[in-house]
Structure 1
Amino acid sequence: MIQLKSIKKSYPSKNGAVEALSGIDLSIRQGEIFGIIGYSGAGKSTLIRLINRLEQPTSGRLIVDGKEISSLSKKELREARKDIGMIFQHFNLLWSRTVKGNISFPLEVAGVKKAERKKRVQELIKLVGLEGRENAYPSQLSGGQKQRVGIARALANNPKVLLCDEATSALDPKTTNSILDLLLNINKKLGLTIVMITHEMHVVKKICHKVAVLDTGKIVEEGNVLDVFQNPKMAITKEFVKQITHQEEADEAVDLMKQTHPSGTIIKLLFKGDSAKRPIINELFQRQRVEINILEGNISQTQNGAFGTLTLLIDGNIREIKSAIDYIEQQGVGVEVIQDAAQLIS
């Protein structure tokens, strides 16, 4: 659905060109919710603005639904943009228009007849859950309601792609979750391709199928959300994953246990997919003659399945501990030995 091939974007400055994006290659499939995450200044907003050509790439090819957006004429671009909706962090609503008026605006611009506009607006108001607020003005709406208007407006022309530029950054956590649930519902109902620009890993975890990590204008890591969360390779990705795994608190718990139990064996279990549902600890108690203390644990759900970790302190006979570790690995659960005073693993 969306392909970026060797995309570069530079801006002129007094000291020469500043490169915002450096050779971006990206492929987003139809119906996918694709997250692009990075810190401020990474080039996220520039990247998303290239997709609907609010920005023109310096070089490279950008293809959306078979059309090379980067080379369209102004007239062709206006037509192509009907297939690309966009929502923003600060809503960008028309404050002099009601909810109905805001949603209707792109239909008016497109020359849609009044009766058809009215019908479409009512469909969208129902879709985004704003029944009863049709005649309210933006100043009378909460942040979440304003964003719902923004989403409805972006969907007015039945686009094939929805671009979300930090769409939940201005919202509180509860409202953020409700907006993400709405986007997930829209994706499933309409088969819409959604591109999420964000610096919040919670957003990626909750609704995205795939994620790309952007750092100083380059994609440094990419893949299925579950795979990236389970095995982040780059330092910046590991920082983002810590946002939702509470890894810093886990490390503190492990460090404390190393001091108080220097002769104990500490292992981290790595769960993914169906293995996250297995009652591993209960099975260990029944099968192995070892003492088990749970130090910390975290299970998270993504669109690709569950993943998580569980850190254990195991005491007992060396052979029994080795047998317990072997059994865990046989169940499809990864094992990382953090402290192995008995040097069980050579």
Structure 2
Amino acid sequence: MISIEGLSKFFTSNKNKITAVDDLTLDINEGEIFGVIGYSGAGKSTFVRLLNRLEEPSAGKIVIDEQEITAMNSNQLRIARQEIGMIFQHFNLLWSRTVKDNIAFPLEIAGVSRSKREERVQQLIDLVGLGGRENAYPSQLSGGQKQRVGIARALANNPKVLLCDEATSALDPETTNSILDLLVDINEKLGLTIILITHEMHVIRKICNQVAVMEEGKVVEQGDVLDVFLRPKQVVTKRFVEQVMGTNEEDDGVAYLIDIYERGKLIRLHFVGETTNQALISQVAKKFAIEINILQGKITQTQAGAYGTLFVQVDGESNEIDKAVEFITNETSVELEVVRDVDGTIS
């Protein structure tokens, strides 16, 4: 659906060359919700603005639905943009227009007749849950309602792709969840490809199928959301995952727990999908002559299933501990990592 090859963007400031996006290559499948995450300055917002050429690329190639966006002249690009909707962090609504007139604006520009505009606007108002607010002005709306207007407006011309640039970062957590639920609903009903830019890992966790992690203009890690949660490779990715899971052994809380237990093995267990429902702790405690102390843990949901991490201390005779570790490793689908061994060695 979307193919990006060698995409770069350079800026010049005080005669210094600044690289915002650096030789980025990605493929995004049709109909998926693809997340791009990074801290401020990572280049993610510049990247998403390059896709519809709100920013002009310095190098590289963008193909959307077999159309090479980077090769288009201004007239061709104007037509192509009708199939690429975009929503923004700060809504970008026309404050002198009502809800329905804001939504109708792209249709006016496209030359759609009044009767067809009115029909389409009403469809979109119903889709985003703004019934009864058609004649309200942006100043009379909550943040979540404003973003729903922005989403409806972005969908006015039946786009194939929806770009979301920090679409929920100006909203409170409850409103954020309602907007994310709406995006999932739109994705399922319309088969829309959504590219979502964010610096919040819980947004990625909640609705994305795939995620790319950006740092210093590059994609440093990419994959299925569940795989990235389970096996983050880069330091920046681990930091994002820890935002959601809160199970970093370097944090003060876990470090304290590690320090006070001086015997046995300290183990981190990774649960994925159906394994999160297994009664593993009680099963192992009954099967082997060991004691298990649960130190810290959390289970969270992703679009692909549940993911959980549990820190435990296992105490007892060393041969019984080794048997329990071997059993978990070889006889279950739970992944096991020894954080500290009986001799105090940190893994």
Q: Is the contact between residue 52 and residue 69 of structure 2 (CA under 8 Å) also seen in structure 1? A: yes
Deviation at 1:39, TM superposition (A): 1.1
Deviation at 1:241, TM superposition (A): 1.2
Give, as a single letter, the amino acid of the residue that structure 2 aligns with 1:300.
T
Please list the CA deviations of residues 120-167 of structure 1 after superposition, one character each: whole Å capped at 9, or x if unmatched: 111111110111111111000000000000000000111000000000
> Pairwise mapping of residues 304-319 of structure 1 onto structure 2 (< 5 A)?
304-319=304-319
Give, as a single letter, the amino acid of the residue that structure 1 aligns with 2:109.
V
Give 1:286's aligned residue.
286
Give, as a single letter, the amino acid of the residue that structure 2 aligns with 1:174.
E
Give 1:341's aligned residue.
342
Aligned residue-pair number: 346
Give 2:266's aligned residue.
266
Q: Distance in 2 between matches of 1:257 and 1:345?
A: 14
Give 1:247's aligned residue.
247
| Structure 1 residues 118 and 338, CA gap change in structure 2 (3 angstroms) | same
Q: Is the contact between residue 247 and residue 254 of structure 2 (CA under 8 Å) also seen in structure 1? A: no
Give 1:69's aligned residue.
69
Please list the CA deviations of residues 221-266 of structure 1 after superposition, one character each: whole Å capped at 9, or x if unmatched: 1111111111111111111111101134784344333333212321
Task: Please say which of residues 147-156 and 105-114 is displaced more in the overlay.
Answer: 105-114
5+ residue gaps, structure 2, are none
| Structure 1 residues 295 and 80, CA gap change in structure 2 (3 angstroms) | same
5+ residue gaps, structure 1, are none
Q: Is the contact between residue 248 and residue 254 of structure 2 (CA under 8 Å) also seen in structure 1? A: no
Q: Is the contact between residue 253 and residue 295 of structure 1 (CA under 8 Å) also seen in structure 2? A: no
Deviation at 1:115, TM superposition (A): 1.3
Give, as a single letter, the amino acid of the residue that structure 1 aligns with 2:219.
I
Q: Is the contact between residue 9 and residue 57 of structure 1 (CA under 8 Å) also seen in structure 2? A: yes
Q: Is the contact between residue 90 and residue 170 of structure 1 (CA under 8 Å) also seen in structure 2? A: yes
Task: Please say which of residues 328-337 and 283-292 is displaced more in the overlay.
Answer: 283-292
Q: Is the contact between residue 340 and residue 346 of structure 2 (CA under 8 Å) also seen in structure 1? A: no
Q: Distance in 2 between matches of 1:24 and 1:113?
A: 41
Give, as a single letter, the amino acid of the residue that structure 1 aligns with 2:64.
V
| Structure 1 residues 345 and 144, CA gap change in structure 2 (3 angstroms) | closer
Q: Distance in 2 between matches of 1:257 and 1:173?
A: 30
Q: Distance in 2 between matches of 1:320 and 1:99?
A: 67
Deviation at 1:342, TM superposition (A): 5.6
Q: Could you say what the CA RMSD is over the residues aligned between the two structures, in angstroms?
A: 1.8
Q: What is the SS of the residue equivalent to 2:13?
A: coil
Q: Distance in 1 between matches of 2:89 and 2:230?
A: 29
Q: Is the contact between residue 262 and residue 344 of structure 2 (CA under 8 Å) also seen in structure 1? A: no
Give 1:200's aligned residue.
200
Q: What is the SS of the residue equivalent to 1:310?
A: strand
Q: Distance in 1 between matches of 2:225 and 2:126?
A: 31
Deviation at 1:290, TM superposition (A): 1.6
Q: Distance in 1 between matches of 2:3 and 2:18?
A: 24
Give 2:332's aligned residue.
331
How much identity, in percent, do the aligned residues show? Answer: 57
Q: What is the SS of the residue equivalent to 2:178?
A: helix
Give 1:31's aligned residue.
31
Give 2:165's aligned residue.
165
Deviation at 1:29, TM superposition (A): 0.5
Deviation at 1:340, TM superposition (A): 1.4
> Pairwise mapping of residues 108-257 of structure 1 onto structure 2 (< 5 A)?
108-248=108-248, 251-257=251-257
TM-score by length of 1: 0.96
Q: Distance in 1 between matches of 2:153 and 2:323?
A: 60
Q: Is the contact between residue 3 and residue 26 of structure 2 (CA under 8 Å) also seen in structure 1? A: yes
